[in-house]
């Protein structure tokens, strides 16, 4: 067992609202994340771990299949510390592969399945990945990305699964929505990998060899999730087994976790919240997870009712959509004891309706890829609406002047900084960016969130603005610099600047201000640009609006004045 140093300030005002059943600091198991699955498979072998369109997988079965996958990775030559890409929507294969990679002493590189081939190249070259695991509907994008790279950087192995490897497509009442048939039920033909081999998921789970000896521990690299920023390509966040373990254990305690929990898993597990606050937290507790690969309000309502779901973490737009269903009154939500989420503020009227109709307090939280999901969360018994919450278990968080680093008085806005056992170790291959991300305050190293906030008299944190340039579209973070870099590859685009535009449903959407090359003016339309973007980037990054301009405003140093364009957009929206 590892006793972590005390980080939270004992005199912080938020402790007046701290759940009395929850410790302020925790002692984290000094074991790898794999140990959580292995021990619960031994303790609860026949207990249901996963439910996917009616098919159940027990803890013993989950462990056995993860070990088979680990053995297969070993047979492919995967070594301790090697990075293995994992890219798929929520399904049993994601959980099996994730824990199989950890069992093989390797590192999980989770990638958003909405990315297209042009974006995927970076997730092969930056982590030096030789092996990727994906679903058949995405395999061609990975092959296209790999084949476009120099041969020395291409994938050597691509393991491909069909969603139907994990459930019966003729499942009757448990069948998926008909609208999903094209991507969920189609068994796409395998692509060609120029410098490597395609492997079938079923072959991997039939591996007869023994898995390698499990030798990683708390201080070894476990996950390398990527996050974008104000400049350049996405950066890998180095998380050890210990940082993920902390938030898995802490999240279980915070949400009243136990082996009797039944959790609706619709928040994507390629994202840090779904991965840590849901998957690892539930595996740690020995709970049951009901998996949804994509959002569908009718399916969500029926799954909550059928499987008596107790815990549902989401983004607010999901709750709003579910409540807007014409069948909402027929969904039995009486089993729910916890509902919450983040990524965007929950409208006050919706939160009030949840409380009045169901006695449920919507618990909002806040965290980043660098903080292994929650660095803040509202106390479940004393939440405030449209609030980030209080510093999470073991966290010392402050609001400081971004320039002087002096702590701001109560109620005044500054940059949110934090330290704690769940903070990442730094950016992969980016010591410069790592150094910029941390500052020393009172002799301690604090991570700079880049978000502006304030603290009220009760010690609750509220978001006020952003230091960093980012768009929040239904909880998905869109980094303008990354979208602009992709758009510059369009032969008609001379310059592009991405700004946020208000969206009544998504909160914010993406808008592109574009200067066309003289050779293409009058021949390329706004819709042409949008269509090209859909073919070359994840759908949530695609501009919903395109505005042509003769030129972009620039500073004396020649830099695009994106803030001016953003202010003009905000002013136009307010009118």
Query: Could you identify the residue written with the tokens 């498979």?
Result: 41
Do 363 and 494 fall into the same domain? no
- The answer to whether residue 328 is domain-embedded is no
Q: Is 492 exposed, middle or buried (0-12, 13-18, 19+ CB in 10 A)?
A: middle
Query: Could you identify the residue written with the tokens 């994106």?
Result: 562
Tokens of 351: 């939160």
Query: Could you identify the residue written with the tokens 């980012």?
Result: 470
Compute φ and ψ for 286, nearest 5 degrees: 80, 30
- The answer to whether residue 459 is domain-embedded is no
Q: Cα dist. 122→14, 118, 127, 142, 236 in Å? A: 42, 8, 8, 11, 11
Residues 6+ apart with CB under 8 A from 44: 59, 259, 286
Do 93 and 230 fall into the same domain? yes
- What is the reported pLDDT for 4? 41
Do 152 and 34 fall into the same domain? yes
Do 57 and 158 fall into the same domain? yes
Residues 6+ apart with CB under 8 A from 170: none
Do 349 and 497 fall into the same domain? no
Query: Could you give the maximum distance between any two Cα atoms of the chain, in Å?
Result: 69
- The answer to whether residue 482 is domain-embedded is yes
Which of 382, 401, 294, 380 lies closest to 337 in space, CA to CA?
380
Compute φ and ψ for 52, nearest 5 degrees: -140, 105
β-pairing, 157-161 vs 131-135, is: parallel
| Paired residues of 444 in beta bridges | 441
Q: Supply the Cα-derived Rg of the chain in whole angstroms.
A: 23
Round to whole Å and give the CA distance between 398 and 414. Answer: 9
Q: SS3 of 263, please?
A: strand
List, as one string, the DSSP characters of 456-502. -TTS-EEEEEESS--EEETTEEE-HHHHHHHHTTSTTEEEEEEEEEE
- The answer to whether residue 430 is domain-embedded is no
Q: Is 499 exposed, middle or buried (0-12, 13-18, 19+ CB in 10 A)?
A: buried
- The answer to whether residue 294 is domain-embedded is no
Do 482 and 369 fall into the same domain? no
Do 388 and 481 fall into the same domain? no
Q: At what angle do helices 316-323 and 297-306 cross, to 10 degrees?
A: 90
For residues 383 and 362, the answer to whether their CB atoms sit within 8 Å is yes
- The answer to whether residue 306 is domain-embedded is no
Report the b/e string of 100-117 with b at 16+ CB within 10 A: bbbbbbbbbbbbbbbbbb
- What is the reported pLDDT for 143? 98
What CATH number is attached to the domain comprising 113?
3.40.50.12780
Tokens of 445: 């190293």
Tokens of 541: 């990054």
List, as one string, the DSSP characters of 3-39. EPPP-S-TT-GGGGGS-TTS-SS-EEPSS-THHHHHH
Q: Which residues constitute the domain of residue 549?
A: 471-574
For residues 366 and 376, the answer to whether their CB atoms sit within 8 Å is yes
Tell me: the pLDDT tens digits for 358-390? Answer: 999 999 999 999 999 999 999 999 999 889 999
* First-to-final CA distance of the chain: 59
Round to whole Å and give the CA distance between 315 and 322. Answer: 11
Which of 435, 439, 431, 447 lies closest to 372 in space, CA to CA?
447
Do 97 and 222 fall into the same domain? yes
Do 388 and 252 fall into the same domain? yes
Which of 513, 477, 508 lies closest to 494 in space, CA to CA?
513
- What is the reported pLDDT for 8? 60
Tell me: the pLDDT tens digits for 462-480? Answer: 988 777 788 888 778 898 8
| Paired residues of 554 in beta bridges | 560
Q: What is the pLDDT along the chain (575 residues), one digit of tens a residue?
A: 344 444 567 778 999 999 999 999 999 999 999 999 999 999 999 999 999 999 999 999 999 999 999 999 999 999 999 999 999 999 999 999 999 999 999 999 999 999 999 999 999 999 999 999 999 999 999 999 999 999 999 999 999 999 999 998 886 678 899 899 889 999 999 999 999 999 999 999 999 999 999 999 999 999 999 997 766 789 999 999 999 999 999 999 998 889 999 999 999 999 999 999 999 999 999 999 999 999 999 999 999 999 999 999 998 889 988 998 999 999 999 999 999 998 777 888 888 889 998 999 999 999 999 999 999 999 999 999 889 999 999 999 999 999 999 999 999 999 999 999 999 999 999 999 999 999 999 999 999 999 999 999 999 999 887 777 888 887 788 988 889 888 988 999 988 999 999 887 778 899 999 999 888 999 999 999 999 999 999 999 999 999 999 988 877 766 788 888 988 998 887 77
Round to whole Å and give the CA distance between 574 and 502. Answer: 9
Round to whole Å and give the CA distance between 477 and 209. Answer: 41
Round to whole Å and give the CA distance between 165 and 201. Answer: 8
Residues 6+ apart with CB under 8 A from 474: 315, 317, 343, 344, 505, 506, 507, 540
Do 184 and 275 fall into the same domain? yes
Round to whole Å and give the CA distance between 10 and 396. Answer: 10
- The answer to whether residue 355 is domain-embedded is yes
- What is the reported pLDDT for 6? 47
Do 489 and 382 fall into the same domain? no
- The answer to whether residue 90 is domain-embedded is yes
Round to whole Å and give the CA distance between 135 and 181. Answer: 14
Count of domains for the chain: 2
The H or E element spanning position 208 is none
Please report which residue ranges of 59-116 form alpha helices under DSSP H: 59-75, 92-103
Q: Which of 369, 393, 417 is the last residue of a domain?
A: 393
Compute φ and ψ for 526, nearest 5 degrees: -60, -40
Q: pTM score, two decimals?
A: 0.88
- What is the reported pLDDT for 31? 97
Do 476 and 389 fall into the same domain? no
What CATH number is attached to the domain comprising 550?
3.30.300.30
């Amino acid at each position: 067992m590892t006793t972590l140093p005390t980080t939270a300030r004992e005199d912080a005002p938020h402790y007046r609202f701290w759940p009395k059943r929850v410790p302020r600091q925790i002692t984290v198991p000094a074991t790898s994340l794999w140990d959580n699955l292995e021990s619960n498979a031994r303790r609860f072998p026949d207990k249901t771990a996963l439910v996917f369109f009616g098919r159940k997988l027990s803890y013993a079965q989950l462990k056995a299949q993860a070990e088979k996958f680990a053995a297969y990775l070993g047979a492919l030559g995967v070594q301790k510390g090697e990075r293995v890409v994992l890219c798929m929507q929520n399904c049993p294969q994601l959980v099996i592969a994730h824990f199989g990679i950890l069992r093989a002493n390797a590192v999980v590189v989770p990638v958003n399945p909405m990315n297209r081939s042009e974006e995927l190249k970076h997730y092969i070259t930056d982590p030096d990945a030789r092996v990727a695991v994906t679903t058949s509907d995405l395999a061609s994008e990975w092959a296209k990305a790999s084949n476009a790279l120099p041969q020395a950087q291409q994938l050597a192995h691509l393991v491909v699964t069909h969603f139907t490897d994990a459930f019966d497509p003729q499942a009757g009442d448990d069948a998926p929505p008909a609208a999903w048939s094209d991507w969920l039920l189609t068994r796409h033909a395998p692509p060609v990998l120029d410098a490597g081999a395609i492997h079938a998921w079923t072959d991997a789970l039939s591996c007869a060899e023994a898995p390698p000896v499990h030798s990683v521990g708390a201080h070894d690299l476990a996950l390398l999730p990527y996050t974008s920023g104000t400049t350049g390509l996405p950066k890998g966040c180095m998380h050890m087994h210990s940082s993920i373990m902390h938030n898995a254990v802490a999240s279980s305690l915070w949400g009243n976790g136990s082996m009797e929990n039944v959790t609706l898993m619709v928040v994507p597990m390629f994202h840090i919240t779904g991965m840590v606050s849901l998957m690892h937290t539930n595996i740690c507790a020995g709970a049951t997870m009901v998996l949804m690969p994509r959002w569908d309000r009718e399916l969500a309502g029926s799954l909550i009712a059928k499987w008596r779901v107790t815990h549902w973490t989401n983004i607010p737009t999901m709750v709003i959509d579910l409540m807007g269903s014409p069948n909402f009154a027929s969904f039995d939500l009486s089993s729910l004891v916890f509902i919450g989420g983040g990524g965007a503020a929950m409208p006050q009227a919706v939160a009030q309706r949840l409380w009045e109709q169901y006695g449920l307090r919507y618990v909002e939280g806040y965290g980043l890829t660098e903080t292994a999901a929650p660095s803040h969360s509202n106390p479940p018994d004393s939440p405030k609406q449209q609030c980030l919450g209080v510093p999470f278990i073991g966290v010392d968080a402050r609001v400081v002047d971004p320039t002087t680093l002096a702590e701001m008085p109560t109620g005044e806005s500054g940059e949110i900084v934090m330290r704690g056992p769940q903070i990442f170790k730094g950016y992969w291959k980016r010591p410069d960016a790592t150094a910029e991300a941390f500052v020393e305050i009172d002799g301690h190293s604090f991570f700079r969130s880049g978000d502006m906030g304030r603290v009220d008299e009760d010690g609750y944190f509220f978001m006020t603005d952003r230091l960093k340039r980012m768009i929040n579209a239904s909880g998905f973070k869109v980094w303008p610099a990354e979208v602009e870099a992709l758009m510059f590859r369009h032969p008609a685009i001379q310059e592009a600047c991405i700004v946020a535009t208000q969206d009544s449903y998504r909160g914010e959407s993406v808008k592109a201000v574009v200067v066309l090359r003289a050779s293409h003016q009058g021949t390329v339309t706004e819709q042409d640009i949008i269509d090209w973007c859909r073919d070359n980037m994840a759908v949530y990054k695609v501009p919903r609006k395109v505005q042509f301009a003769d030129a972009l405003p620039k500073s004396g140093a020649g830099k695009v004045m994106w803030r001016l364009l953003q202010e003009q957009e905000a002013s136009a929206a307010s009118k």
